[in-house]
Structure formats: structure tokens, C-alpha cells
Amino acid sequence: MRRGGINGRPVELIVEDDQSIPETGRWTAEKLATIDKIDAHQGVFLSNVCLACMGVWEGHRIVNMIGGCLDTRITTTRCSRYSFRPFDYSPAQAVAFAPSLIKMAKRWHIVYTDYTWGQSTRDVYANEIKWLGGAVVGSTGVPLGTADMRPLLSQIGGRFEGLFGIFFGEEAVTFAPRRTIWA
């Protein structure tokens, strides 16, 4: 390490932008593997992009340290010896958080970002809520990039006691109420 790098080998950081688009991510991963000839990869935040790239890393035998993707398939049905995530994921979060949800309400409606991560997270929370004796009486998917959720949210009906939102980033800010009134 004194001479720099790792075991005397220099380390170069190469940064690419997948633009949160699966096809762009796959193309970028292929470029990193074949043109830049990287030894290891760290990154990707959206699950759909991560899933699109995993085959590239496996095909080129490149270690892929996942940046933030929580889709359950990454470590179940699409599991690869070359990709790993060094943190918890949706099922672990659901096991930890669902007991608190059940204490607040028994009947839930889930609103979620409608793509791979949101769908798989909805499913694991719904299963955990049901396992704990609660019920998910409905769910509403919100497409990525929806600027105004009011038309979708205004259609939610039925008998539920709690509304659970599964969002992050811009969608989480859009979903959160501008002001909260406590009764």
C-alpha cells in the first residue's frame, strides 16, 4: 500500500451514468467490462437497472458490489456468485418494520412505486402484514416519474385503517403531504 494502489497495483476510479435506464445501464456495464476492462464494479441504485446489468457482470466474471438495489430477486431467483449487496434488503426491512405497522392498524392499503423494487417490496410487506394477522385490502402502483399523484390517490377507496407508501427519492417527496394535520 505504501507505493500506492492495492498490492502495488494502481487503482483507477471510472465513473459512468446509467441514467436510471436499464438499457443504458446494460450498455454501460458492457463498456466497463470490455473497453475499460475493470476488475470490480460498485454502484447502481435502481433495482431494474441492477437486474439488467447482473448478467454482464456474471458473463465477464466481474465482482459487482451492489449500491442500493433492494429487489428480492437479486439474491433469490436471479442470484449470481458475482453480485452481492453488503446491506439489508426489503424482506429484512419488512420483518423489522411490519410489527410496528400492525400496532398502528390492522387493515392497510399500500401505495408503491410501480417498478421492480416497489413491486417486490409491496409483496414482502403484504406477506409480512398478513403473517402477523393484518390485512392488505388494496394496493396502488404509481409509475416512476409521476409528478402529480393526486389523480391516482383520489381513486383509492375501501375500508382500510392505514395507508403505507413505498417510495424513495423524488417520488417520496411527491407522495408526502405538504402539511400534516393531526387530529
Residue 40 lies in a domain: yes
Q: 135 and 97, same structural domain?
A: yes
Residue range(s) defining the domain that contains residue 76: 22-84
Whether the Cβ atoms of residue 52 and residue 25 lie closer than 8 Å to each other: yes
Q: 146 and 115, same structural domain?
A: yes
Q: 64 and 136, same structural domain?
A: no
In this prediction, residue 2 carries a pLDDT of: 55
Q: Decide which of 45, 65, 84 is a domain's last residue.
A: 84
The model's pTM is 0.69
Residue 11 lies in a domain: no
Q: Decide which of 84, 119, 136 is a domain's last residue.
A: 84
Residue 150 lies in a domain: yes
In this prediction, residue 65 carries a pLDDT of: 92
Question: Which of 41, 89, 90, 32 lies closest to 65, judged by CA?
Answer: 41
Q: Decide which of 63, 84, 105 is a domain's last residue.
A: 84
CATH number for the domain spanning 114: value is 3.40.50.2300
Q: Is the pLDDT of residue 123 over 90?
A: yes
Q: What are phi and psi of 113, to 5 degrees?
A: -70, 120
Q: 79 and 29, same structural domain?
A: yes
Q: 126 and 65, same structural domain?
A: no
Q: 69 and 28, same structural domain?
A: yes
Per the model's pLDDT, the better-predicted residue between 51 and 76 turns out to be: 51
Instruction: Give the pLDDT confidence of 13-45 residue by residue, as tens digits.
Output: 999 999 989 999 999 999 999 999 999 999 888
Task: Count up the domains in the chain and report the number.
Answer: 2
Q: What are phi and psi of 95, to 5 degrees?
A: -60, -40
